[in-house]
Amino acid sequence: MTDYQAAQEMAELPEPEQLLALYRQLITIRYTEEQLARSHQMGLVHGACHTYVGEEAIAAGVCAHLRPEDAVFSTHRGHGHALAKGVSPREVVAELFGRATGCSQGRGGSMHLFKPEVGMMGTSGIVGPCILQATGAGYSFKLLKKDNVGVAFFGDGAVNNGAFHEGLNLASIWKLPVLFVCENNLYATEVPFAYAAGNPHVGNRGPAYGMESVTVDGNDVLAVFDAAGAAVERARSGEGPTLIECKTYRTRAHSEGMRDAGYRTQEEVDAWKARDPITHYRKWLLDNEEAGPETLSAIEAEIKEVVAEAAEFARNSPWPEPETVSEHIFNQG
Ligand SMILES: Cc1ncc(C[n+]2csc(CCOP(=O)(O)OP(=O)(O)O)c2C)c(N)n1
């Protein structure tokens, strides 16, 4: 039995239709990212483009438990979080193309994906603050006596930032309904986490804050789903925050167009590609007769169409009108 199979035997499995919804979500993120990478090469994406290829299981597994009123705060690698939280491929692609039909009306791009109506409270180019913003959302839900949760997605590069210490400590002492989801993909740009951290086991840090903490295989969507389900339940019932370390890997360059050599070996990249979260989950669905090949192929064909249409829609969308440039700007003077 592989580690993957063993983890599934122990995990609380989702309902059959949810198993397929997870597959659909994984495929949506992967195909959208691949479309964005191609579009970047064609010069259609304006600004940086950090893809989430290889890490899709985390956004899919966590966001499957969230309601539109739950608040997600994300990072520079946030397309998958936005999609899993309910922003459509059309709105994501159009935003990266700088078009008025994008979720931020073409004003922000990849690192400013906002859609408060579905609880997507923003991707961000600054490493760390999402931890504090999610803590603040949790505090606000607690004050308002709502059973909603705040979720921070962040990389290993954020955990040695002061925001991590302040956010986790505050959430712990006030038992705030927050999930701190660390996507530990082993590198912050080109810096290995093992080099940058005195204690490279993020999951071990929770107890230092008096906080529930768990480490899971971030390439295993069912393991993430299981851990996030327990954490969301704990948060909604007033039992406080959880730190979830998801061990994963990005298989593309840090950012599209960047060189991807000199800091990791091809063998390492290939070993992680062999643990691709989508390939593994697809095989698991088939082996366990949760879905037949025709069903999965139909989902793949449908999402391929959805994403191609989204790119076409974005390409044909208008640019923001120049005369609207001063709209949505706060004047603090
Ligand atoms: C406060 C801050 N410091 C430095 C940077 C420059 N920077 C951009 S991405 C990045 C690496 C982040 O690594 P990690 O948080 O592990 O996320 P990953 O890119 O691996 O998903 C850094 C240091 C930044 N954007 N913000």
pLDDT in tens, 85-102: 999 999 999 999 999 999
Indicate whether residue 158 lines ligand 1 (CB < 6 A). Answer: yes
Name which residue leads in pLDDT, 329 or 155: 155
Kindly tell me if the per-residue pLDDT of 331 is higher than 80.
Answer: no
Residue in 55, 73, 76, 252 to alter for ligand 1 test, most ligand atoms within 8 A of Cβ: 76
28/307 Cα distance (integer angstroms): 8
Name the residue ranges covered by the structural domains of the chain: 15-314
Q: Read off the DSSP letter of residue 6.
A: H
Kindly tell me if the per-residue pLDDT of 146 is higher than 70.
Answer: yes
Q: Note the CATH number of domain 15-314.
A: 3.40.50.970
Kindly tell me if the per-residue pLDDT of 1 is higher than 60.
Answer: no
pLDDT of residue 16: 86
Percent of the chain with pLDDT over 90: 92
Tally Cβ neighbours within 10 Å of residue 273.
13
First to last CA, the chain: 65
Kindly tell me if the per-residue pLDDT of 309 is higher than 80.
Answer: yes
> 3-class DSSP state for residue 239?
coil
Ligand 1 centroid distance, CA of 76 (Å)? 8
pLDDT of residue 323: 94
pLDDT of residue 2: 58
Kindly tell me if the per-residue pLDDT of 269 is higher than 90.
Answer: yes
Instruction: Report residue 42's pLDDT band, with 50, 70 and 90 as the boundaries.
Output: very high
Query: Pairing mode, if any, of strands 178-184 and 71-73?
Result: unpaired
Pick the residue whose CA is nearest to atom 11 on ligand 1.
188
156 CA: nearest ligand 1 atom: 16
Pick the residue whose CA is nearest to atom 7 on ligand 1.
127
What mean pLDDT value characterizes the chain?
A: 96
For residues 138 and 149, the answer to whether their CB atoms sit within 8 Å is yes
Which residues have C-beta within 8 Å of that of residue 319, sequence separation ≥ 6?
98, 99, 100, 106
Indicate the range of 10-19, 132-141, 154-163, 228-237 predicted with least confidence.
10-19
Instruction: Report residue 218's pLDDT band, with 50, 70 and 90 as the boundaries.
Output: very high
Q: Tokens for 196?
A: 């940058």
How far from the centroid of its chain's Cα atoms is residue 278's Cα?
15
For residues 251 and 53, the answer to whether their CB atoms sit within 8 Å is yes
Ligand 1 centroid distance, CA of 62 (Å)? 22
Instruction: Report residue 298's pLDDT band, with 50, 70 and 90 as the boundaries.
Output: very high
Q: Give the tens place of pLDDT for each residue, 177-198.
A: 999 999 999 999 999 999 999 9
Buried/exposed 167-187: b ≥16 CB within 10 Å, e otherwise: bbebbbeebbbbbbbbbbbbb
Q: Which helix (H) or strand (E) holds 169?
A: helix 162-173
The pTM of this model reads 0.96
Instruction: Report residue 5's pLDDT band, with 50, 70 and 90 as the boundaries.
Output: low
What is the mean predicted confidence (pLDDT) over 233-249?
A: 98
What is the mean predicted confidence (pLDDT) over 204-228?
A: 97
Kindly tell me if the per-residue pLDDT of 10 is higher than 70.
Answer: no
Chain length of the chain? 333
Indicate whether residue 185 lines ligand 1 (CB < 6 A). Answer: yes
Kindly tell me if the per-residue pLDDT of 236 is higher than 70.
Answer: yes
φ/ψ of 150, rounded to 5, equals: -105, 140
185 CA: nearest ligand 1 atom: 20
58/218 Cα distance (integer angstroms): 6
Percent of the chain with pLDDT over 70: 96
Kindly tell me if the per-residue pLDDT of 11 is higher than 70.
Answer: no
DSSP letters spanning 282-315: HHHHHHTTSS-HHHHHHHHHHHHHHHHHHHHHHH
What is the mean predicted confidence (pLDDT) over 101-113?
A: 97
Name which residue leads in pLDDT, 7 or 158: 158
